[in-house]
Amino acid sequence: MPSNSEHSSPLAVAYARSLLELANERHQAREIGQELDHLRDVLARDPEFREFLANPGISSVHRGQTIERVFSGRASELLYNFLRVANEKGRLGMLDQIALAYDQLLDEQLGNVEVDVTSAQPLNAEQVAQIGRRISNALGKTAIVHQTVDDSIIGGLVVKVGDRVLDASVRQQLNAMRDQLLSGAQRVSSNGMSVTA
């Protein structure tokens, strides 16, 4: 699943929406989403293959032969045909964005919401599940929780849902206390009182 910080172009969203509509007609929306996630993983691990698909100097005929060799019989018929059309339109360089947009559209359709949780120490499965339940209850959607560990936050949690961030980390609390102390010291200083011991 994608991170919330990633975005797709309007053209990629249009392609993803068309693919999702076709997948819905065939009752394959989740399966196509899984195939696209796998394809994104392949592209991330194989930059040469990604470059081959995106390179405008390579003919669509040559790319089409490679798509047939690699995906025919391995991918679903719908995804295979989609890749052939994307190749003919010169859009294979957008596969990453299309896959990301598809994931986001499918999440909306299923009532899912992506949640990024950062903690200073790894959370156990029950803690992750509890966070997911609380967010699901609060938003009325199914929370898909992705966990990140960052010991610089010292303790507590940073929770990101879409563009909203709830920072309940110890680091944030210490920063807030420091800011309060500094602003209090400045007020005392501006009143002409000594702030040195």
Inter-residue contact 76 to 28 (CB < 8 Å): yes
| Nearest by Cα to 101 from 146, 183, 57, 36 | 36
Q: Is pLDDT larger for residue 89 or for residue 172? A: 89
Per-residue model confidence as pLDDT tens digits over 39-48: 999 999 999 9
Per-residue model confidence as pLDDT tens digits over 141-152: 899 999 999 999
Q: What is the pLDDT of residue 85?
A: 96
CATH no. of 10-108: 1.10.520.20
- pTM of the entire structure? 0.64
The pLDDT confidence band at residue 3, using thresholds 50, 70 and 90, is very low
When pLDDT is averaged across residues 88-101 and rounded to a whole number, the result is: 94
Q: Measuring CA to CA, how many Å separate 88 from each of 17, 18, 56, 67, 81?
A: 18, 16, 12, 11, 11
Give me the percent of the chain exceeding a pLDDT of 90. 68
The answer to whether residue 197 scores a pLDDT higher than 60 is no
Look at 5-19, 113-127, 159-173, 178-192 and tell me which has the smallest mean pLDDT.
178-192
Name the residue ranges covered by the structural domains of the chain: 10-108, 112-190
Residues with Cβ within 8 Å of 163's Cβ and at least 6 positions away in sequence, in order, are 4
